[in-house]
Every structure is written in structure tokens, then in C-alpha cells.
Structure 1
Amino acid sequence: MVTCYGSFVGLRVKPDLSCQNKFIPINFAEQILPGTFEYALCYIVENKLDLTGFDAWYNNDKTGAAAYSPAVMLKIILLGYAHGLISSRRIAKACENNILFMSVSGDVQPHYTSIAGFVAKMHEQIEPLFTQVLMICDEEGLIGRNMFAIDGCKLKSNASKEWSGTFDELGRKKAKLERASKRIIERHQAQDGLSEELVTQDLKQKEKLDKSAAKITEFLATHQEKTGSQGKPVKSNITDPDSAKMTTSKGTIQGYNGIAINDDKHQIILQAQAWGSVGEQQTLQPAVNQLKQQLAKLNANRTSKEQAIKFTADSGFNSEANLEFMAQSGFDSYIADNQFRKRNPLFKESETYETEQEKRRLKRSKGKPRLFTSDDFHYDEVTQTCRSPAGNEMWRSGINVKSYNQQYTRFCGYLKDCKICPLQQQCMRKPPIKTGRQVQFKNDESCKKLSYIDKMKVKIDSPMGRRQYSKRLGSIEPVFGNITVNKGMNKLTLRGQTKVNTQWQLYCLVHNIEKLQNRVH
């Protein structure tokens, strides 16, 4: 046995025995201290939650081995998630070695397959459990109903990014695998003197290639190609068809977007759902509808009757359809557009902001100069004429052209002028081939008919609007920071929309229970 004494040479200090084993009697009940997450978890699961929804799982006429209690399974899974142990194997290992997990589980060591199976099939039970915890939060006065905020968090899924592509791309990949498999056979036919070891290695490689090609063939035959909002094909994933490729600050991932709506008083999450190949704009309306259903289940007497609840969202949720929906939702909504920051008077004369914006633009455009906008063209509304920044006349190609619920007058440069224009690189992304540079200007009559986007711009640019929207950042962003960074729940271990949605709601359930840890005794 090795004893650790530390590195205090010449000092009279007691030895550090942390690397030694010790047999001591353990009282499991004394390991769960009041005021901790595990104490709140055990108290809520054992005394507050109705777990009768799990009874149907164990109605097997007393045949077979006895099952683990759903209360125990739920406690160890949520405790594991709270400590960043999102793998079923790591949770099972903790139940064998960690005193805290032994205390919470009552010294039960379920197999990792039992833990994974419990999470995978509890999609029907997670919604009632989530609502019950919200009711406890409401009873403790943690839900203020003054302002709600929505946002999304992109999480990596248990899917291979290499198996993504449109049906056309997957078809080409399948043909490439088949050609590689065919070349192995042709090489064996041309070279009879290959060693047995090399033949065995090649046959294994051929089997792997054939298996991958068959996997693509089966996927193309059993699935329909997905299309985007503009009707164009989008990438599908073979290992998890419901997931999607997403761009994040740390690169491109194959994953899901975890959407959550929370209350600003104590950052309680009221609605949570994970989305794969659906754009962020498309998640707002179903999320708000789910929020209303959740609020209806809570204590109606606590709902504010004096004024509408404020609702905030960033520019990712801004669209004409969404703003029209929110105008009829009963919420006092503040949803920014992607030009909101530029219109802020605080940033108008800020050299630091302009410098950083230019750095980002150069990074996106790979160092290319800024292209001319419609403000750089000389438009005469009275004569309905337009000149380019180089002084060339342009011809009017359209009147009352509709775009984004607005009407525009469109002009187009002459091809012969654009081809020899000295400002071509600043004006067009690529050299002109068929047409010259096009530019459009908003009609006055179009301005009179304000769209919901225009109305929201006026509302959110007001001093009151900016003040209300500024509260969004401190309301919703810390929630995702707590879930992904503090708790380490930064990826998903399951596949499929239904299972992933269950796991995301469990992550949010951990966050809400943590808010209750100082409220339960």
C-alpha cells in the first residue's frame, strides 16, 4: 500500500491519505444533504410527482425478473444529467462506484441497457412530468408571467455528419462505393498470385463497401427527399434522418436545435422541444401554441389580467407570418429583425462597432470589398430614372414588383455598360453574362401599407421597445449556458425526433429542478 505525504519538505504536516482505500460504514440517507440538487430531486420524485403513468410498463402478470422502480430510474438519470453524465454507460458505472449515486438509487445498479431503454421509451411520460414540476415551481412563486423569451441551442446528435447529403449526392456516393468494390474484384481477377492475407484483407474491405452501398440503397428506397422553404432539396442523414446539418460558432455539426421558452422572473423553462431539419422561424408558432397549453394547465388565478404578457425573440424568429401570428396571440411581443442593431443610436457613431462589423464582413466575404447597395445608386422618383455609381443610365425593368409584401420599382443596367464598367468588382459578385446589375427601390404607395415587419420595426425601435427587448438577453441566454456549460448537457445520445425531444426535455427538467433546490425542505 502506497502512502501519499505531499511535497512539504521539512514541514510538520499531517499526511494526505486521499489515494488510499478505506472501509467505512455508510448511511445512505446521510449522504443526501438538504439544499443540494440531489435532495430536491429525491424529495420531488418521491413526494410530489405522480408516476402512475409508468405502471403499464410493469403489468406483466408477475412473470420474468423484477423491474427497477421508475422513481429510482428517473432519479439516477436526472442526477447523471446534472453531473454531465449523459451516457447510459457512465451513469451505470456511477451507480456502482459513486456514493452519491448509490444513496439516490438505494444501492441499485441497473445495466446501462436498462437506463438507455428507460429514456428511449418514456416520450409519453415526459410531458406530464414536465408539467408537474412546473406546477411545483408555480406554487413556490417562481413563475412571474411578466415576460417570456424564446431561443434555440444547437446540440450535436448521435449521427454521422459523413452520411449526410441530398438524394442526388447520396446516389453519387453509392455509385462511388460500388465502383470501388468492383475494382477489388477486377484486381483479384488480374492478379492470381496475391497472398492469402492480402486476399482476406481485400474481401473484408469489399464487404464493408457493399454494406455501405446497400445501406444507402435501402435509405433511398424507404425515405422521401426533404425540401426546403423554397422547394429545393435539402440534405438528409442516413444514421438519423430527423437530424440536420447546422452551422455553429465552432463549425458545422449534425444535430438538433433545442428550442425553449422561459419566464424572466427565475428563468424557469415553460416549454421545450427539439427540432431537426426545421428552420428556426418555423418553430415559433408550434412553440407558442405549446406554451399556451402549458399555461392553461397551471393555476389560472395567477395569470396576469391587467396587461398582456410580454414576449421577446431574436431575429432568427422574425418573419411576416410569425409577426402576424404573434399580433393575434395575445402577447405583447418584441421580435427583432436582422437590422435592429444597426438602427440602434448607441451604435450609430461607435467606431468600435463599425470596425468589428467590418472584420466580420471581410471574414464572411473572404476579403472581398463591400458591394454597392441601392443607396449608392442615383434614383429620381419624379422622372423614374436611375443611374449607376459609375454614372451609366439604367433601364426600368419592372413596376410594382412584389417582394416580401412590399412593392418596388426595379432597374437593370445595360449589359454592354456593366461588362466594361471599372466599378464592376464593387457592384457585382460575378462578371455579367446575361444581364447587368439589378437594383430596386420601394414605392411610396407600398410604404403606406405597413407590413407586420414594418410595424414591429417602429415598435421595437422606440425607447420603450428597446428597453423591453434588452431584457431578453439576461432572461434566456443564461439558461442555455447553465444547461450546456455548467451541467455539461451539450450533446444528444439518442436518435430520432421523438427520442431526442424526450432527452432535451429531461435536460430542461434538470434546470427547473435546480431552481427548486433551495425551496424544498
Structure 2
Amino acid sequence: MLSEAEAIDAAEDGMFGEGRGDDVPVGLRKPSDRLSRLRSCHERLLREADHQRVEQQEKINARIAEEKANGKAKRGRKPKTAEAVVKEEAKANVSDPDSRIMKSRKGYLQGYNAQAVVTADQIILATDVTNQANDVRQLAPMIARTLTMMEAVTGDEAVLGVGLFDAGYWSDENAATETAECEYLIATTKDWKQRKAMRDAPPPRGRIPRDMSARDQMERKLLTQRGRKLYRLRGQTVEPVFGQMKETQGADGFMMRGEQETQGEWNLHCAAHNIKKLHSESVRRGRKGGKWLLN
């Protein structure tokens, strides 16, 4: 027991030197450093508040212009005023200023929003980590990352086919970016509501009317037999991938701090997942052909 304790002590001396391993980080040891970090966090909160005001006012102006052009009020909840969107008690994390408070199924947590584009075979094509809790702004960047990756791998112009997205990615603007090379099926409501609508409503027939709003068109497309069949694939593609990484790789939280460092950690998890998938497929094909492809 004593020899084991000495070995552990020697190993920790090599790792931490004169420190104990639980020392205060360098940037937080001096009062002046802590004050500087607090000021930096406060300045960032003020910048974010100004950005939120400008962004919300642009949304309000765009809605007013659209209603004037159509001659009628737009369907849906009216946007909040520019001041109302600014949080009265905005908070910043001192140890990881890049992270944000985000709502999850288990409540609120301090962290990041991890993104992944997955094929029907559960191979991850593109990844990203952002401190924006909302997924709406992530659709276009993730599609661009996927196209870049596919073109780099194949050497040809990429064609995505059909993209399946949950309701977090829905917006009229995202629906408008659909192309002939990539059709979008984006849920317009939460998954359980989407499933209920598919159970209760019969599949519509005929062509989708062109005078319908973007939201109505998407809802109708999802309710068609083809839309139901395709959207159901989300449950056996991207959702299991996140579940597998959480259960088998411990990817239920990030160990690193900082957006760039967290991105690297997420990329490592996704690369490990892909390697396991490719290994399993290689073994399966080897058994099927009577020979092992991997030794």
C-alpha cells in the first residue's frame, strides 16, 4: 500500500510539479486578473444586448414590410419588442466565457450546442460546436460544411438528396434555401406533435398548392406518404448516433473549456464513432465473404 502511494505521489509530481492538481487556474489567481476577466465578461454582455436589439428590430421591420406587401397580418405570434428580447439578468461564465446557459431536457446547463450531419448509414459527415442555443442558424452552415466534406472526399460536385431536420431548424428563411440538389423535410412543431399529426391526419393527395405559406407547404409535404416515410428515418439515423456516443463514449458532456477546444473534443468523439462504424462494417463484409478484411 505504501509503495503504491509513493508511486502515485511521484506520478502526480510529474504532472503538477509543485502544485496540488486542484490549484486555481493561472488567469484567476491574482485579484487584478479576476477583475479584468469580470470586466471583459460585462463588456461582452453589453455587446450582445446591443446586437439583440438591432437583430430584433430588423425582424420587426421585415414583418411590417411583409404585412404591408401582402395587405394582411402575418400568421403566428407577434415578435417581442427590441427591448423585451434583452435579458434583464444576463450572465457570463468567468471560467469559460465562450460557453452559454442553454435549456435542455434536464433543465438549464452551461455549455455548447453540438451539431452533426449524419448519413443513412450513421456516418458523420460534418460537425460543429456553437454557443448559440437555437438551431435555426445552424442549418445553412452545416449544409455548407457537408458539401465541402463530400466534395473533398469524392472529388465531384456533391448532391445531398434529402435532409431531415427537427423543429429546432424550422424557419421560413431556411425553407427558402432548399435546392434541387438537396430537398428539406423540416418539422414545424415538436417531434411528439409531429408524430401525433401524422397519426391523426390522413395523407393529403394531389400537388401542393403554390399559394400556401412556406410553413403550410412544409407541413403538407411532411403529411404525405412519402414525407412520413422519409421523416421517420430520423429515428434510425441521427438520433441513435448521439445516443451511441453518449452511452459508449461518454460524450454526454464536454471536458474542455473554450469554443475552439470544445470543437476539437467533439471532432474527436465523432471521428471515434466513424472509426467504430467503419470497423463494424468491414467485419460484417468480411464475414459475409468468408474472409476477414481486418486482421
Tell me which interval the TM-score lies in, with the shorter structure as reference length.
0.5 to 0.7
CA–CA distance in 2 between the matches of 1:456 and 1:248?
A: 26
- TM-score w.r.t. length of structure 1: 0.38
Aligned-residue offset at 1:212: 5.9
Question: If you compute each CA radius of gyration, which structure gives the higher value, 1 or 2?
Answer: 1
Alignment identity in percent? 25
> Which runs of 5 or more residues in structure 1 are unaligned?
2-20, 22-92, 97-110, 114-206, 349-446
Distance in 2 of aligned mates of 1:241 and 1:341: 38
CA RMSD of aligned residues (A): 3.5
CA offsets, 1:380-401, max 9 Å, x none? xxxxxxxxxxxxxxxxxxxxxx
Q: 1:218 to 1:453 in 2, by over 3 A?
A: closer
2:245 is aligned with 1:474: no
Letter of the aligned partner of 1:240 in structure 2?
A: D
CA displacement at 1:215 relative to structure 2: 4.2
Counterpart mapping for 1:197-216 below 5 A:
215-216=37-38
1:312 is aligned to 2:168: no
2:135 corresponds to which residue? 280
1:489 aligns with 2:251: yes
Task: Give the partner amino acid of 2:161.
Answer: I
Instruction: Determine whether 1:343 maps to 2:197.
Output: yes
- Identify which of 240, 250, 254 aligns with 2:96: 240
Q: How big is the shift at 1:301? A: 6.5
| SS of equivalent residue, structure 1 residue 470 | helix
Q: Partner of 1:237: helix, strand, or coil?
A: coil
Which residue identity is paired with 2:124?
I
Residue 505 (1) aligns with residue 267 (2): yes
Kept in 2, the 8 Å contact 1:262–1:269? The answer is yes
| 1:492 Cα offset (Å) | 1.3
- CA shift, 1:300, in A, is 4.3
* 1:450 has 2:216 as partner: no
Gaps of 5+ in 2: 17-28, 57-81, 202-208, 283-293
Query: Aligned AA for 1:244?
Result: R
Matches within 5 A, 1:253-332: 253-265=109-121, 267-300=122-155, 309-325=161-177, 327-328=178-179, 330-332=181-183
How many residues align? The count is: 220
TM-score (norm 2): 0.64
Mapped to 2, the partners of 1:288 and 1:218 lie a distance apart of 33
Other structure's SS at 1:239 match: coil
2:106 corresponds to which of 250, 254, 268: 250
The partner residue of 1:219 within 41, 48, 73 is: 41
Q: Would the alpha carbon gap of residues 461 and 485 (structure 1) be closer, same or farther in structure 2, given more than 3 Å must change? A: same
AA in 1 matched with 2:243 = G
Q: Pick closer, same or farther for the CA change 1:258–1:463 going to 2, 3 Å.
A: same
CA 245–222 in structure 1, closer or farther in 2 if over 3 Å, else same:
closer
Using the TM superposition, give the Cα deviation of residue 341 of structure 1 relative to its aligned residue in structure 2, in angstroms: 3.2
| Cα offset, 1:493, TM superposition | 2.0
CA deviations 1:464-517 (Å, max 9, x no partner) are 100110011111111111111221122112222211111111111110111133
SS of alignment partner, residue 195 of structure 2: coil
Listed one character per residue, the Cα deviations across residues 130-168 of structure 1 (whole Å, up to 9, x for unaligned) are xxxxxxxxxxxxxxxxxxxxxxxxxxxxxxxxxxxxxxx
What is the alpha-carbon distance in structure 2 between the residues aligned to residue 330 and residue 509 of structure 1?
Answer: 27
Cα distance between partner residues in 2 of 1:215 and 1:301: 47
The residue number in structure 1 matching 2:278 is 516
Q: Compared with structure 1, are the counterparts of its residues 347 and 468 closer, same or farther at alpha carbon in structure 2 (3 Å cutoff)?
A: same
Letter in 2 for 1:283: Q
Please list the CA deviations of residues 109-131 of structure 1 after superposition, one character each: whole Å capped at 9, or x if unmatched: xx768xxxxxxxxxxxxxxxxxx
After superposition, give the CA deviation of every residue in 1:194-228 in whole Å (9 maximum; x if it has no partner). Answer: xxxxxxxxxxxxx9999866642343257753144
Q: Give 1:298 deviation, angstroms.
A: 1.3
Structure 2 CA distance for partners of 1:223 and 1:245, relative to 1, 3 Å: closer
C-alpha distance in 2, partners of 1:303/1:511?
23
Q: Which has the higher contact order (CA 8 A, sep 6+)?
A: 1
Cα deviation for residue 292 of structure 1 reads 0.5
Could you say if the C-alpha distance between residues 455 and 491 of structure 1 is closer, same or farther in structure 2, counting changes exceeding 3 Å? same
Superposed counterparts of 1:10-409, under 5 Å: 215-221=37-43, 224-227=46-49, 228=52, 230=56, 231=82, 232-234=85-87, 235=90, 236-265=92-121, 267-300=122-155, 309-325=161-177, 327-328=178-179, 330-338=181-189, 340-344=194-198, 346-347=199-200
Match of 2:291 in 1: none
